[in-house]
């Protein structure tokens, strides 16, 4: 965990002073809150101030500052923005992540845990402990507000974790607002963090008499879900591998979307669409069994908020030829200020053994959405491998472990 020294140096003095006041830390009237240069003197003064507190209080304040310091980065700021927007908490005008976190710790302390969980989910996005599942766009409603469904899903979570049913558990349901980094479009998500009492561990520690004693330390596991009702996507963040996350997805489908077909897992990798600014020469091999490939649609976003989608299918004219013929030098492929936001690629397979011709269609959307619904796992992996070969996918995200709450 990050040290709080850097956090102290970058924090506004007025907000820092109020934080210590609300934690019942007595500060001398002549305490120097100024942070000159790197602020080393201020950090040392704060450490001396905390050293004079009773041990329990000292540990509690230091632990809280360490937590805030661990959130003081880009992911922490994004998490705070998403959580605060979902809870209608105004953080406009606050000077940076340090002031935002101190403001929440002082005035909205329960939101700090949500920000911590949200930052953890952002860091794990696309990693080994994260998966996204796509439902068909069948227009059938999801019953996310049903308390019966929520309780049943919570019970299933305990079963998936293979823990006894008497384990304590609680689910924190809340809303966040996710802003698309390219278009600025805001999407409200319904999220839940499920906390479950794990098997306790035995650890050595000092007792009241300053002798070593063995203590039973309770542990907590967390499982996170994020639901985008509009896009029909559910994200699962949890340990346990693919098998466990598939179980969570099936449990979600059973309790919240019982009238829809089971979802399929979506590969989540950053997409790279710049190579589609001109007609691509897709590299294919005889063993691929591909008859032809076409880019059937392109979506563009312009600086200032413009949007256009151009679709053209058929063997007579490609979408690139169509755009050139209709727009010439003014086409979004050539004019300045336009960026490819999404593209749909159709892979037409060579018929074999008298079978009908099959087409696999995949849509790529910035920054990291790759949809290939209603196909077999074999088809999805085949297309995924092709996208990697063609340079349409960035390298995998680094893996992050699920944060366990002690």
Residue 1 domain-assigned (yes or no): no
Q: How far apart are CA 290 and CA 352, in angstroms?
A: 11
Residue 4 domain-assigned (yes or no): no
Quote the pLDDT of residue 1: 44
Same domain, yes or no, for 334 and 372?
yes
Domain boundary among 246, 266, 286: 266
* Residue 136: how many other CB atoms lie within 10 Å: 15
Same domain, yes or no, for 289 and 371?
yes
Domain boundary among 203, 234, 266: 266
Domain boundary among 266, 285, 308: 266
Same domain, yes or no, for 303 and 258?
no
Residue 250: domain span: 127-266
Residue 240 domain-assigned (yes or no): yes
Residue 403 domain-assigned (yes or no): no
Same domain, yes or no, for 154 and 177?
yes
Same domain, yes or no, for 151 and 47?
no
Same domain, yes or no, for 132 and 119?
no
Residue 401 domain-assigned (yes or no): no
Q: How far apart are CA 322 and CA 327, in angstroms?
A: 8
Q: State which residues of the chain have pLDDT below 50.
A: 1, 37, 400-406
Quote the pLDDT of residue 35: 64
Candidates 4, 17, 142, 119; CA nearest to 73 is 119
HSE value, Cβ hemisphere, 13 Å, CA-based, for 111? 25
Please count the structural domains in the chain: 3
Same domain, yes or no, for 261 and 318?
no
Residue 91 domain-assigned (yes or no): yes
Same domain, yes or no, for 98 and 177?
no
Same domain, yes or no, for 383 and 283?
yes
Q: How far apart are CA 331 and CA 200, in angstroms?
A: 63
Same domain, yes or no, for 242 and 288?
no
Same domain, yes or no, for 261 and 133?
yes
Quote the pLDDT of residue 72: 95
Residue 133 domain-assigned (yes or no): yes
Residue 396 domain-assigned (yes or no): no
Quote the pLDDT of residue 404: 39
Same domain, yes or no, for 131 and 203?
yes
């Amino acid at each position: 965990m990050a040290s709080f020294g850097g956090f102290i140096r970058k924090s506004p003095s007025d907000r820092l002073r109020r934080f210590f006041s609300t934690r019942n830390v007595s500060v001398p009237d002549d305490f120097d809150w100024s942070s000159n240069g790197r602020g080393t003197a201020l950090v040392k003064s704060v450490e001396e101030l905390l050293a004079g507190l009773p041990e329990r209080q000292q540990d509690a304040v230091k632990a809280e500052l360490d937590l805030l310091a661990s959130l003081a980065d880009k992911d922490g700021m994004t998490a705070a923005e998403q959580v605060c927007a979902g809870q209608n908490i105004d953080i406009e005008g606050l000077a940076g992540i340090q002031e935002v976190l101190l403001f929440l710790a002082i005035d909205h302390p329960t939101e700090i845990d949500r920000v911590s969980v949200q930052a953890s989910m952002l860091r794990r996005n696309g990693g080994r402990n994260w998966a996204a599942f796509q439902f068909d766009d069948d227009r059938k409603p999801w019953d996310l507000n049903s308390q019966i469904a929520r309780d049943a899903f919570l019970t299933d979570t305990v079963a998936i974790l293979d823990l006894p049913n008497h384990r304590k558990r609680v689910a924190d349901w809340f809303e966040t607002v996710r802003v698309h980094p390219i278009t600025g479009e805001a999407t409200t998500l319904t999220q839940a963090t499920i906390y479950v009492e794990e098997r306790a561990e035995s650890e050595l520690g000092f007792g009241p008499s300053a002798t070593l004693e063995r203590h039973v330390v309770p542990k907590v596991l967390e499982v996170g879900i994020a639901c985008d009702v509009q896009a029909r996507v559910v994200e699962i963040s949890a340990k346990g591998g693919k098998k466990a996350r598939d179980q969570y997805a099936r449990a979600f489908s059973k309790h919240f979307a019982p009238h829809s077909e089971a979802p399929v897992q979506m590969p989540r990798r950053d997409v790279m669409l710049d190579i589609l600014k001109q007609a691509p020469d897709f590299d294919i091999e005889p063993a691929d069994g591909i008859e032809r490939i076409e880019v059937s649609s392109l979506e563009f976003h312009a600086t200032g908020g413009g949007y256009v989608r151009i679709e053209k299918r058929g063997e007579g004219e490609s979408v690139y030829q169509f755009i050139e013929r209709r727009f010439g030098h003014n086409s979004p492929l050539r004019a300045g200020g336009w960026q490819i936001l999404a593209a749909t690629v159709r892979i037409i397979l060579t018929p074999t053994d008298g079978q009908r011709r099959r087409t696999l269609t995949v849509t790529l959307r910035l920054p990291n959405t790759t949809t290939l619904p209603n196909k077999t796992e074999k088809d999805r992996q085949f297309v995924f491998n092709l996208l990697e070969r063609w340079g349409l996918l960035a390298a995998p995200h680094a893996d992050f472990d699920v944060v366990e709450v002690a």
